Structure 1
Amino acid sequence: MKIKENIKLDFNSTNSESYNDLITLSEIKHAIISSKNSAPGPDQITYNILKKLPSLTLQALEKAFNHIWTQADVPNEWHEALVFPIPKPGKSKINPENYRPISLTNTLCKIFEKLILN
């Protein structure tokens, strides 16, 4: 999905944080290191893989994340998730109502979301 125009976000805020700053390499490293080793999504990229990336690859990731951030050009794959039914504890597995869905999204998308939220 492409946005037809890019609008620079310029929030009025009483704090000194800038919401328009580019994503830094140190922010990416912190987001990766502080992430729990949860299951990968459709991209099959694990947090353990990300934690072992060389500096050059992290720099390329920084460039890609900043392109996504400044151009609002989110990869189509990030709109996808693997959905699995998980049985509710102590409930009969025969009844479909006793399941809850769990969605596994792309790991790089989860890192990007973490960067935006923090």
Structure 2
Amino acid sequence: MELDEEDKELITEDELRRAVMGNKNFAPGDDVLTYQVLRLLQKVPGNPLLQLYNVCDQHGYVPAAWTITTIIPIPKPGTDKYWSIPLNSCFSKAFERVLLTRLRYRLQEKFSPHFYGFLPQRSTHHSLSELYSRLSYNNVVAFLDINFFYIANRDIILDQLVKFGVRGNLLKLINGYPSNRNHVFS
């Protein structure tokens, strides 16, 4: 099998550094390895973390241990409801950040100027500011907070990514991402 030109592009030390440094010391997943460990691995001669990520990227594969999410229920004060706090492997989170950066780069020309999700300098705050600047006295606004990730049709999303030119191992990793997740409740 011949690789796409995009599949031949190895993850660079700079990409990895930005993915790891951009994260604070959030709680790790079941492997209990923190971002501090990832930062230390980058200093080891030969950068084994970079080598590991490039092997995963080149083969379109994510290790099963990285797909485990431990869900910690935290009681909401004064109710019988809970917040669900997901804990994922920092290895996985940093790798996903590299992939997200590459995906954004490939799609940046395809995004509508009115798209605000998951883009730098295009947050909910920016969306609300634009909305507020366009409102008049007679407008009515309704806000919905819907988690589309779990209800979105993956096939439609993948077809759209293909139409936008995403292919190869990046597409393979995106395709396998939600189907290979394991949730463990603590």
TM-score (normalised: structure 1): 0.72
Count of residue pairs the alignment pairs up: 100
| Structure-2 separation of matches of 1:87 and 1:20 | 47
> In structure 2, what is the equivalent of residue 87 of structure 1?
75
Amino acid aligned to 1:34: G
Match of 2:44 among 31, 51, 55: 55
> In structure 1, what is the equivalent of residue 170 of structure 2?
none
| Structure-2 separation of matches of 1:64 and 1:80 | 18
Is 1:65 the counterpart of 2:53? The answer is yes
Match of 2:32 among 44, 50, 57: 44
Percentage identity across aligned positions? 31
TM-align CA RMSD = 2.3
Amino acid aligned to 1:75: P
> In structure 2, what is the equivalent of residue 15 of structure 1?
none
| Structure-2 separation of matches of 1:29 and 1:49 | 13
Is 1:99 the counterpart of 2:86? The answer is no
> In structure 2, what is the equivalent of residue 3 of structure 1?
none
| Structure-2 separation of matches of 1:81 and 1:106 | 8
Q: Alpha-carbon deviation of 1:72?
A: 1.5
Amino acid aligned to 2:40: K
Q: Alpha-carbon deviation of 1:29?
A: 1.4
Amino acid aligned to 2:85: I
| Structure having the larger proportion of residues in helix | 2
> Which segments of 5 or more consecutive residues in structure 2 lack a partner in the other structure?
102-186
- Radius of gyration: which is bigger? 2
Change beyond 3 A, Cα 1:84–1:22: same
